[in-house]
Structure 1
Amino acid sequence: MGAVSEIAGYLASTLITFYLFIVILRFLLQLARADFYNPISQFIVKATNPPLRPMRRFIPPMGGLDSSSLILALIVQAIGISALLYINYSAVAPAISLLIWSLLGVATAFTKLFFITILVSIVFSWLAPQSRHPALTLLHQVNEPVMAPFRRILPDMGGLDLSPILVFISINVLEIMIRHGAVASGMPAGIIIGLN
């Protein structure tokens, strides 16, 4: 692979990963019933509305879940996989492989996003425990549905919250399963956005 194709692959991967995370955040904001008047929420809504508005005419929500956002995440992941596959290998994926790899990629993006947001929340809880910054409020709202079940499992430890450790262990287990699923599906190395 030459320098130009490596740079193209890096730029494509970076841009697609960024937009994929925004789409997944849009899904999580609705799932967690987060504050949509938060300025960061408003940015996420504005960034995702152009493709989601027409999609919502044909794709209704299912069981209270924003299915349009999930399908958009799969489409973004599929575009990313197709672009990287073409840039790195000058190849095109069969439709069924593309679907499987996209599902694995979106699952990976969810785990990575939770890992990052929980880690940022932990760091800021040490540095600025009383902060009311909109980003921290939003992180708390998005992470709480994942953290709450683990908090219920652990006994009260006098104000020490060890639930993030259990969440990180669970995320690592999921990532190992996803990585093995990717290998079993015949995915070429470095193709799924966020798996590296």
Structure 2
Amino acid sequence: MGSPVDQAGLFLLQFIAGLVIFVLVLRFLIRATHTDWRNQIVMFIAKVTNPVCKPFALVLPSKGRWDWAALAAAFSVQVLFVILIGWLTNRDFGIALILLSALTEILNVLLDMVFWLIIIQIILSWLVQNHNPNLDIFRQLTAPILAPFQRMIPPMGGFDLSPIVAILVIKLAQILIVGSIAQFAQTMV
């Protein structure tokens, strides 16, 4: 894929697949963190993702706060994307490589999303002191993730240092766990 048209098409395909996966992983995270479903943003995410998640929900019904259908849909979109990339580039990827590539991408999206949600929440906590339902979603998404870190590291001198430790753990998980899976997948090429 050397021509600019081919590169533009590949970029567009990657953008669309990435956006769909992002929204599906966000849906999973919204449910996992018990974010208020009455929030306008949350209702929009649910409405947009329902058509994609419904077929998966028939096989993988939601259990408590875990929306496995959203993750399965995101994984399937990534699998299709990898297959399509292989087809467009005339490369034959094995099933193990396709599945491991999809797994690493979904894990990276999830961990990147949590990382950026924590960063956004930190910035918003400095800038916005009053209650705003549209911004409150960031607190709702990050509070359950930060809670274990806050129990280990109580606030010191009025500063909550737990987000720094959470970010450190997230990035180490990406490097050690996701990186190891990706490195193993590369041996299959």
Distance between the aligned counterparts of 1:111 and 1:64, measured in 2? 18
Distance between the aligned counterparts of 2:121 and 2:170, measured in 1? 16
CA 1:62/1:98 → structure 2, altered by over 3 Å: closer, same or farther?
A: farther
Q: Count the aligned residue pairs.
A: 187
Q: Which runs of 5+ in 1 are unaligned?
A: 190-196
Identity of aligned residues (%): 27
Q: CA deviation at 1:61?
A: 3.0
Distance between the aligned counterparts of 1:39 and 1:55, measured in 2? 24
Q: Secondary structure of the residue that 1:4 maps to in structure 2?
A: helix
Distance between the aligned counterparts of 1:180 and 1:20, measured in 2? 22
* TM-score of the pair, normalised by structure 1: 0.86
1:65-124 Cα offsets, whole Å, 9 max, x none, are 22211211111221222233344x322422222111111111111111011111111112
* Letter aligned with residue 149 of structure 1: P
Residues 12 and 84 in structure 1, CA contact (< 8 A), matched pair in contact too = no
Q: CA deviation at 1:28?
A: 1.4
CA 1:20/1:176 → structure 2, altered by over 3 Å: closer, same or farther?
A: same
* Equivalent position of 2:182 in the other structure: 182
* Equivalent position of 2:60 in the other structure: 59
Residues 154 and 160 in structure 2, CA contact (< 8 A), matched pair in contact too = no
Pairing of 1:5-154 with structure 2 (within 5 A) = 5-62=6-63, 64-87=65-88, 89-134=89-134, 136-154=135-153
* Letter aligned with residue 161 of structure 1: D
CA 1:24/1:59 → structure 2, altered by over 3 Å: closer, same or farther?
A: same
Does 1 or 2 have the higher relative contact order (CA < 8 Å, sep 6+)?
Answer: 1
Q: CA deviation at 1:129?
A: 2.6
Distance between the aligned counterparts of 2:184 and 2:55, measured in 1? 35
Q: Secondary structure of the residue that 2:61 maps to in structure 1?
A: coil
Pairing of 1:152-171 with structure 2 (within 5 A) = 152-171=151-170
Distance between the aligned counterparts of 1:132 and 1:187, measured in 2? 49
Residues 12 and 83 in structure 1, CA contact (< 8 A), matched pair in contact too = no
Q: CA deviation at 1:187?
A: 7.0
Q: Secondary structure of the residue that 1:185 maps to in structure 2?
A: helix
1:1-47 Cα offsets, whole Å, 9 max, x none, are 22122212221222211111111111111111211111101110111
Distance between the aligned counterparts of 2:148 and 2:22, measured in 1? 24
Residues 155 and 161 in structure 2, CA contact (< 8 A), matched pair in contact too = no
CA 1:114/1:131 → structure 2, altered by over 3 Å: closer, same or farther?
A: same
Distance between the aligned counterparts of 2:187 and 2:164, measured in 1? 30
* TM-score of the pair, normalised by structure 2: 0.89
